[in-house]
Amino acid sequence: MIKKSLLFLGNFSFSKIILAFLSLNLFIFLLYVNGIESNSLNISLKYFLFSNETIVPNSNNSKENLDNSTFPTVSKNSNLSKEYGIYNKTLCPMIPAKLHGRIPVKYFNGTFIELENSLSNLSIEKGGLWSPKECKPRYKVALIIPYRNRENILKIFLKNLHPFLQKQQIEYGIYLIEPLQNLTFNRGLLMNIGFIESLKKTNQKWECFMFHDVDLIPEDERIIYSCPEQPRHLSAFVTKFNTIVSGEALFGGVSALTKDQMKKVNGYSNLYFGWGGEDDDFRYRILQNNFKITRYPLEIGRYLMIRHTSDQKINSERFNLLKKTVERMKTDGLNSIEYKLNDMIIGKLFTKVIVSYDENYLLKKIY
Ligand code: BGN
């Protein structure tokens, strides 16, 4: 017995002692990381309750619902970050602190250079990309914006949206998709192109997509630009000039889908040339694929439409197209799109994708 023990000790070389010491360190490190994970899980659970809208935040007590005490966050100076010392690797909070409800829309009527200067403190990267430095973003979100001839509105959009998105601590990119001047505007087709090109350009980085009209400015900081489990219609209550646009049957304006959800529904139809119907078609696809559409309560999902003259022709074919949405949806969309990428402009505040397509060819194609 003694002989055996001596033999064992003899075999226990110096390198094995080092190995045991390193393993112990690794074990302690794992416990430590798990501690942080369980903290973020806690935040997720609270957010889950919130995002399911079982708790309806009230605009009058927005502070109460969204401040630090309700949704803990790890800020640069917090004890938690000092204690763990790996502040850069901490996930950003699900609901960032300091989101205090209703915000006024900021107007802007200077030049683009003036706009860029006025936003220069935001450290926006080329192409309109940004990611928080103080924590690891939970969401990688691409904003896809069909665009043409709306310079003044675009400036107001950028002036408001960059600071709004940064406050949410998400990683984001802003993409404008513009057809050549002589083509009929096709919002759905442009959304599909934005989805494809933004992914291609970033090596498939984006996980969540906001399909966004350029003339809609969020009026409440609690509208989180993330993708929950189900597709979300963000612009639940739009003030359009002197009227209100709102209703359960709408899915236009601003809507959020994950990359996988967008692929599952085969994107938008490519066939709606001119104004109207493409968003209804998209909504049918979503419901047909057994997704449920979620919305913020009306007092939160508020947007202001910036006034402009309408230059789009109304699509009189939209009713006929809508009748066959379900029949066509597996063959008309992301998997059948055809377009030409004419240019990609990497601006200081956005990426602009300039494209062309053949309307007659697309309409005559068999689906
Ligand atoms: C609907 C349009 C939508 C538009 C909303 C809000 C149609 C199809 C025939 C019912 N749909 O009526 O495209 O987003 O109004 O303006 O016209």
**In this predicted structure, what is the pLDDT of residue 215?**
98
Helix (H) or strand (E) segment spanning residue 302: strand 302-305
- pLDDT of residue 221 exceeding 90, the answer is yes
pLDDT at 264 over 50: yes
Residue 286 has pLDDT above 60, yes or no: yes
Which has more confidence, 40 or 261? 261
The pLDDT of residue 311 is 82
Mean pLDDT across the chain? 82
> Tell me: the pLDDT tens digits for 157-199?
999 999 999 999 999 999 999 999 999 999 999 999 999 999 9
Q: Can you tell me the distance from the alpha carbon of 319 to that of 150, in angstroms, rounded to the nearest whole number?
A: 28
Percent of the chain scored above 70 by pLDDT? 76
Task: Indicate the domain borders of the chain.
Answer: 2-84, 112-364
Q: Quick one: pLDDT band at residue 310, thresholds 50, 70, 90?
A: confident
Supply the residue whose CA is at minimum distance from atom 10 of ligand 1.
277
Give the separation between CA 355 and CA 185, rounded to whole angstroms.
Answer: 11
Q: How far is the CA of 279 from the centre of ligand 1 (A)?
A: 7
Q: Which of the two residues, 92 and 61, has the higher pLDDT score? A: 92
Alpha helices in 168-252 (DSSP H): 187-201
Separation of CA 280 and ligand 1 centre (Å): 7
Model confidence at 153: pLDDT above 60:
yes
**Cα 337 to chain centroid, rounded:** 23
| Mean local confidence (pLDDT), 252-269 | 98
Q: Distance between CA atoms of 335 and 52, rounded to whole angstroms?
A: 32
279 in Cβ contact with 251 (< 8 Å): yes
What local confidence, expressed as pLDDT, does residue 67 receive?
Answer: 30
Question: Angle CA(309)–CA(275)–CA(263) in degrees, nearest 5?
Answer: 125
The reply to whether the predicted model has a pTM over 0.75 is: yes
pLDDT score at 89: 67
C-alpha to C-alpha distance for 326 and 329, rounded to whole angstroms: 5
- H or E element that contains 176: strand 171-179
CATH class assigned to 112-364: alpha beta
Residue 308 has pLDDT above 70, yes or no: yes
Least confident residue range of 6-10, 143-147, 160-164: 6-10
Pocket of ligand 1 contains residue 280 by CB under 6 Å: yes
Higher pLDDT, 317 or 5: 317
**Looking at ligand 1, which residue's alpha carbon is closest to its atom 4?**
276
**124, 167 in Cβ contact below 8 A?**
no
Mean pLDDT in residue range 74-90: 48
Task: Choose which residue among 191, 215, 280, 314 to substitute to test ligand 1 binding: the one with the highest number of ligand atoms within 8 A of its C-beta.
Answer: 280
- What angle do helix axes 187-201 and 278-288 make, rounded to 10 degrees? 60
**% pLDDT > 90, the chain:** 71
Rounded to whole angstroms, what are the CA distances from 15 to 10, 11, 19? 12, 11, 6
**Residue 237 CB neighbour total at 10 angstroms:** 20
Query: Does the beta carbon of 318 lie inside 6 Å of ligand 1?
Result: yes
Quick check: CB of 277 below 6 Å from ligand 1?
yes
Higher pLDDT, 178 or 74: 178
Rounded mean pLDDT of 2-16?
A: 43
Q: Which atom of ligand 1 is nearest to the CA of 276?
A: 13
- Top pLDDT among 15 and 69 is at 15
CA 84 to chain centre: 30
**What is the whole-number distance in angstroms between the Cα of residue 251 and the centre of ligand 1?**
9
Q: Which of 148, 184, 166 is nearest to 274 (CA)?
A: 184
Q: Which of 279, 303, 324 to mutate to test the pocket of ligand 1 (most atoms within 8 A of CB)?
A: 279
Q: How far is the CA of 277 from the centre of ligand 1 (A)?
A: 5
> What is the number of other CB atoms lying within 10 angstroms of the CB of residue 180?
13
Distance from the CA of 325 to the center of ligand 1, in angstroms? 15
Q: Is the pLDDT of residue 328 over 70?
A: yes
- Kindly state the tokens that stand for 10: 């003899």
Backbone Cα Rg of the chain: 25
CA-proximal residue: ligand 1, atom 17 (nearest): 276
Please determine, for residue 63, whether its predicted confidence score (pLDDT) is greater than 50: no
Query: Does pLDDT of 156 surpass 60?
Result: yes
In DSSP terms, which residues pair with 255 in a beta bridge?
211, 233
Quickly count: other Cβ atoms within 10 Å of residue 247's Cβ.
9
